[in-house]
Structure 1
């Protein structure tokens, strides 16, 4: 049997997602294409962005150029991002996926969305890809290199960034905090990467703790899982992903998002969105392009992920047709954003403003497809998002 047939058999009759984010949804299988909650995409606007009716776009920053209204030069290769409340406005933080320079920058917005300032919050690091926000208002910036590190940063620039190497040394991608269990979930961008969680000795203090890896049968796509301690979190000479024989391996871990009992994470090698039910310690598939009718998959190049209080997930594409797709609690997947003329780029860093009315993201390589130079573009979408 081909992979599509095998997967259909594996998930047939699977229970609906048990995490409370989608509790009560009559969802017995991974999401399928259908009419989105916002309607069809319209013709591209002046920024080359296709959006549904009622939504507008603006360019916030361009790599190598001053952020409008400031003297700060925006970084190259913008990647993972998040928003944080700041007074009566908010801050958008963005990583830089550049070797040996890396780091992260921030843009501060006023209550009306006007740019107030822009500045550096981390520098001198290596290929900072994604990361995650903490409940106490810091940004975890992750290095996507072998023996990569996690850095805790302060979006307002009030403190210098601090290294958090006790969270493991591996090819880090994204992080998502679970305050209910007091752990941080971590993805690994390797073809045989693992899904981890960091268990700090004290919640809110990431300086000490232990790293655990998710364990399950290699071919399992739905069912119970367990966690085991990683013996050597420093990953040398034996990489962390190879230290526990029962560890489940995932094909290119990418984005990670936690909300109300469920941690959603993506794998780019097989275009999947996974749902880890933290309450019942169970793994399920939320989306898999192999389970969509041939030629009908709206979401490919699965990458960064974020969500809203309404229960909608927003998944950005690395390649594909340069879209952000929404996956609804009803199990429908549909595009809400499409960038035209940038097929050699990827969409990175999707994050909502605190009030949920604005979505930020970047086209990492813009129209040129090159990760260095003035190519990256950071956008804002404003509109009637479901909240």
Structure 2
């Protein structure tokens, strides 16, 4: 069989290979392999303790417990999942707060066209363990509670509209959400060792207040079947237990959608998965056991670029953000030094794709009060 790049095609052809959860890890399809970064080797750590490729620079945007620039707004602790939204000639970066009961929520930073900070403010308060989430095509942020029977909240990045709970998206230990505008569905991951992979179909695309249908994936030989979750509220039985034979994913984390494919990570087994909605098939895009000197362990938040590169942040490991190219090569893009008690999260590009935002959740202190949010600029590639 001719080997094809799974990440380039983002599809498994019918009959080309049989995939299944009962097969050996080595028989899974086309994982990315360790190789040279398209940006070259990492340079020595800069003044922020970040190793970057040649030509890239970083700056600190915010620190937990301190005012953001000259706004007077205090940045939240334990910054986690994030996303960027276009705002005229500028943009907005939103960031979750993975803090305990009633202390979580979401904050936002607004930038002008040159990257200057113009304001910062709160868009969700009083929630719990807001871990990751996802942007919607109608310019809202879905903030997910990573707690038993947690909720999803829909937030306005501009802070003009009050954030709203969306119970139809289910109550479970939410991690991330990824909207698919091509098929009008939203994918959801669950951070449990035996978590599910979910799909939500809104009754009205663009209006989550109207409810919809929550489903969980079943997988057989790489083919995915979606089955309705009988009780998304999980009043008596957790959602992952309601459908017999539903697929098990070990610690669902970040999710990102493009070109018919939802890429999502599982931290428990150090994998990046690729689910193709057009073919209803799933495969492993990266597995640390299937490459030499694997650069990525503890895969967490994930994002991507128009050229096709994926960027995956580590929870643990070497505190790296790794790049996975459409040619199935994985390599470190950056490394944060002297913050081994933290995790990297909140990876997101501004609309132009020339600035990457991310957070070190606990920074140099190892405490949720020590979070640091960074911006990286440089020659991000626009073609292969």
Contact 1:13 1:29 in 2 (8 A): no
1:164 aligns with 2:176: no
Q: What residue in structure 1 maps to residue 58 of structure 2?
A: 57
Shift of 1:16: 4.3
Cα deviations by residue, 1:247-285 (Å, 9 ceiling, x for unpaired): 101000000000011000000000000000111000000
1:91-102 → structure 2 map (5 Å cutoff):
91-99=92-100, 100-102=102-104
1:112-261 → structure 2 map (5 Å cutoff):
112-207=114-209, 208-217=211-220, 223-261=222-260
What is the alpha-carbon distance in structure 1 between the residues aligned to residue 107 and residue 75 of structure 2?
A: 8
* Structure 1 gap segments, 5+ residues each: 1-11
Q: What residue in structure 2 maps to residue 322 of structure 1?
A: 319
What is the alpha-carbon distance in structure 2 between the residues aligned to residue 211 and residue 325 of structure 1?
A: 32
Contact 1:57 1:381 in 2 (8 A): yes
Shift of 1:292: 1.2
What is the alpha-carbon distance in structure 2 between the residues aligned to residue 228 and residue 22 of structure 1?
A: 22
SS at match of 1:170: coil
SS at match of 2:289: helix
Shift of 1:22: 7.8
SS at match of 1:216: strand
Contact 2:11 2:281 in 1 (8 A): no
What is the alpha-carbon distance in structure 1 between the residues aligned to residue 2 and residue 175 of structure 2?
A: 32
What is the alpha-carbon distance in structure 2 between the residues aligned to residue 14 and residue 144 of structure 1?
A: 38
TM-score by length of structure 2 reads 0.93
Q: What residue in structure 1 maps to residue 297 of structure 2?
A: 300
TM-score by length of structure 1 reads 0.92
Q: What residue in structure 1 maps to residue 365 of structure 2?
A: 368
What is the alpha-carbon distance in structure 1 between the residues aligned to residue 160 and residue 37 of structure 2?
A: 41
Contact 2:153 2:165 in 1 (8 A): yes
Q: What residue in structure 2 maps to residue 4 of structure 1?
A: none
Check 1:152–1:160 CA distance in 2 against 1; reply closer, same or farther (3 A cut): same
SS at match of 2:120: strand
1:264 aligns with 2:267: no
Shift of 1:19: 7.4
Q: What residue in structure 2 maps to residue 71 of structure 1?
A: 72
Shift of 1:17: 2.5
Q: 1:381 aligns with which of 368, 376, 379?
A: 376
What is the alpha-carbon distance in structure 1 between the residues aligned to residue 3 and residue 44 of structure 2?
A: 39
Check 1:128–1:14 CA distance in 2 against 1; reply closer, same or farther (3 A cut): farther
1:311 aligns with 2:319: no
1:31 aligns with 2:29: no
Moved more, 321-330 or 14-23: 14-23
What is the alpha-carbon distance in structure 1 between the residues aligned to residue 146 and residue 97 of structure 2?
A: 11
What is the alpha-carbon distance in structure 2 between the residues aligned to residue 378 and residue 160 of structure 1?
A: 25
Q: What residue in structure 2 maps to residue 17 of structure 1?
A: 6
Check 1:336–1:18 CA distance in 2 against 1; reply closer, same or farther (3 A cut): closer
Shift of 1:43: 0.2
What RMSD, in angstroms, separates the aligned Cα atoms of the two structures? 1.7
Shift of 1:225: 1.1
Check 1:211–1:22 CA distance in 2 against 1; reply closer, same or farther (3 A cut): closer
* Structure 2 gap segments, 5+ residues each: 14-27
SS at match of 1:29: coil
What is the alpha-carbon distance in structure 1 between the residues aligned to residue 137 and residue 276 of structure 2?
A: 20
Contact 1:20 1:262 in 2 (8 A): no
Cα deviations by residue, 1:326-369 (Å, 9 ceiling, x for unpaired): 00000000011100000010001000000000000000000111
Contact 1:314 1:324 in 2 (8 A): yes
Check 1:45–1:251 CA distance in 2 against 1; reply closer, same or farther (3 A cut): same
Cα deviations by residue, 1:197-249 (Å, 9 ceiling, x for unpaired): 111111111121010001014xx6xx211100000000121000000012101
What is the alpha-carbon distance in structure 2 between the residues aligned to residue 265 and residue 112 of structure 1?
A: 32
Q: What residue in structure 1 maps to residue 274 of structure 2?
A: 275
Contact 1:22 1:329 in 2 (8 A): no
